[in-house]
Amino acid sequence: MSWRFAHRIERLRARMDEPFLEAFLITSRLNVRYLSGFTGSAGAVLIGRDFTVLLTDKRYTLRAQKEAPGFEVIVPDNPDDDILKTQLETRGLRKVGFEANNVTVKTLEGWREKYGELGVEWIPTSGVVEELRLVKDAEEIAFIREACGIADAAFNHIRLFMQPETVEMDVAMELEFFMRRQGARRPAFESIVASGENSAMPHAETSERRFRPGDFVTLDFGAEVNGYCSDITRTVVIGKATEEQRRIYQTVLEAQRRAIEAIKPGVKGCDVDAIARQVIADAGYGDYFTHSLGHSIGLSVHDGMGFAQKSEIVLEPGMVFTVEPGIYIEGFGGVRIEDDVLVTEEGVEVLTHAPKELMEFPSG
């Protein structure tokens, strides 16, 4: 193998001994893309110890051949052809792993009924490819860097709109249009713009509310570049911040700083979470930090495990996470500050660089 995803296939094959598998059937759309490069909406890959096959339909023949040059592309000649059965039969496959989290009971029962005569044993697996995806290769990191750069530029642009009477929804739309103009394929997720009392909800739904003097405004957004995501949050104040607003903001900023400082290979995710959580608790706001500290990002904005109170993940070079402490007080508002970070051999690199000092935007 010499094509660009060959190393990913070899990493997957290294997982085929326990339990013993003759092949892996990958049906998750993101995992298909990760292993093959194929971006179509209909497809699965069958990966054996010495073969790689992409199963799709005639709509995607040329696309699959272009995007997945390391795979034999199989499409049915007519709608009644069962190309999976043909592969199982001709290759004599008996022990086939499948993604249990992506296959319904009905689908599995159908396979057992249709392919029972072949003697295929369907062996459930969970999170195998997702675990591989936690450690990014150089190409993945480059795409995430580009997505982070677009998010940084978007924040610098959107500051122009931080004025009283601006509508949350208008800001969200401007963020997303701007990121597309900068080269993003699409937003990484539906942007969150939450002002005033809405900012007390970590995942508020962007509304028609207008900014008012004294509001916290939380902006949570990201860009997608070649399938890879960024995820950044900044919180600003409309008008002059009160002393309590300043105290809350600086507490969140210090919690994030301390957590990022602790990130390096060999550290557990729960330990990083605990550092940020302790800073917030010591300031008297422990009951108002209501979510985990961060998550992995990659092909999905929530790409896997991260920093949480019970996270046993051990950090390795090449992992990319968000670090996003927050304080949320009902009826008052909330602050979240979020950056994307790369675990390196030496420690950590922050990939997002939008300003983080408390910003106050004149109210008149």
At 238-250, the pLDDT tens digits run 999 999 999 999 9
Residues 106 and 153 in one domain: no
The answer to whether residues 82 and 14 belong to one domain is yes
What's residue 80's pLDDT? 86
Average pLDDT over residues 342-350: 98
Per-residue pLDDT, 1 = 45
Average pLDDT in the 267-282 region? Answer: 99
Nearest-10 crossing angle of helices 6-13, 29-36: 120
Which of 110, 133, 156 corresponds to the end of one domain? 133
- Evaluate whether residue 355 is within a structural domain: yes
Residue 65 makes CB contacts below 8 A (sequence gap 6+) with: 73
Say whether both 115 and 184 belong to one domain. no
333 Cβ contact partners less than 8 Å away, ≥ 6 residues apart:
196, 197, 199, 200, 215, 216, 245
The verdict on residue 50 lying in a domain is yes
Q: Which of 112, 133, 154 is the last residue of a domain?
A: 133
Q: Output the pLDDT for position 87.
A: 97
Together in a domain, 347 and 258: yes
Confidence of residue 19 (pLDDT cuts 50, 70, 90): confident
Whether the per-residue pLDDT at 79 is higher than 90: the answer is no
Give the tens place of pLDDT for each residue, 170-211.
999 999 999 999 999 999 999 999 999 999 999 999 999 999
Average pLDDT over residues 134-159: 98
Q: Note down the domain range covering 96.
A: 6-133
**Residue 363 confidence (pLDDT):** 52
- 325: domain CATH number is 3.90.230.10
Question: 191 with 317, same domain?
Answer: yes
**pLDDT tier, 362 (very low <50, low <70, confident <90, very high otherwise):** confident
Same domain, 217 and 344: yes
User: 188 and 41 in one domain?
Assistant: no
Residue that wins the pLDDT comparison between 246 and 3: 246
Residues 90 and 146 in one domain: no
Same domain for 266 and 157: yes
Q: Indicate if the pLDDT at residue 4 is higher than 60.
A: yes
Which one of 94, 118, 133 terminates a domain?
133
Is residue 361 scored above 50 in pLDDT? yes
Q: Is the pLDDT of residue 315 over 70?
A: yes
Mean pLDDT, rounded, for 341-361? 98
Q: Is residue 1 part of a domain?
A: no
CATH number at residue 77: 3.40.350.10
pLDDT of residue 45: 98
Number of domains in the chain: 2
To the nearest whole number, what is the mean pLDDT of the chain? 96
